[in-house]
Homo-oligomer: A and B are copies of this chain.
Amino acid sequence: MESLDKLINELSRLPAVGKKTAQRYAYFLLGEPLEEVKEFALSIVEAKQKIHYCKICANFTDKEICDICAKPNKAPIICVVKEPKDVTALEKVRDFNGSYHVLHGVINPLENKGPNDINIRSLLTRVNEEKIEEVIVATNPDVEGEATAIYIANLLKPLGVKVTRLAQGVSMGSELEYTDALTLSKALSSRREM
């Protein structure tokens, strides 16, 4: 069945979805009433049509400027993240009152992604215009995230802004026995007095 094969192909484009899961999703959808399936498909197209990047921070929004950027009395701090989902994760913490800047990627030479392929340039303008005092580079603590953080720090330091990085160490609730050596080494060298 051509239309079923096509549906399974499309569904297996979703992240971490293989043929088997895609087939499971497809059979589920075929078993639902037509009206609900139409609603399902419509919600996808509608979200895509309504949601775009915030003009300031490049996070997803359905307005011109996202809710976070539009908030008054924000702290003059920008938290730089790789992806919109990182903003969602950080917003759950609730004790950050600054704004965000979404890079939509990190520098990755293996994937041919250079500094111009991610949303860095407008960060410089923002630091000047919004009188930012601190930029927290919250890219992931992996090779590409670290490289991107160093690149951004080097760009920003001449502007006189403080550039910081999330602390690295052992996770809360984790067990030392199962913590990898690199994390332990970082936690040791950043140890603090009690």
Contacts and interface: CB of A to CB of B under 8 A. Distances in A.
Name which of A3, A10, A45, A48 has the most chain B CB atoms within 10 A of its CB. A48
Nearest to A38: B45
A50 interface: yes
A4 B54 CA distance: 14
Given A1-B60, A2-B62, A85-B27, A7 B37 contact: no
How many copies of this kind of chain does the complex include? 2
Interface in A39-54: 39-51
Interface of A is mostly: helix
B23 A85 contact: yes
B14 A61 contact: no
Given A2-B62, A10-B44, 19 more contacts: A1-B50, A3-B47, A3-B50, A3-B51, A4-B62, A6-B47, A10-B40, A10-B43, A14-B29, A23-B85, A26-B47, A27-B60, A29-B44, A30-B60, A32-B48, A37-B44, A37-B48, A41-B42, A41-B45
16 contacts: A7-B43, A7-B44, A7-B46, A7-B47, A15-B28, A16-B24, A23-B85, A23-B88, A24-B85, A30-B48, A34-B48, A34-B49, A37-B44, A38-B45, A38-B48, A41-B41
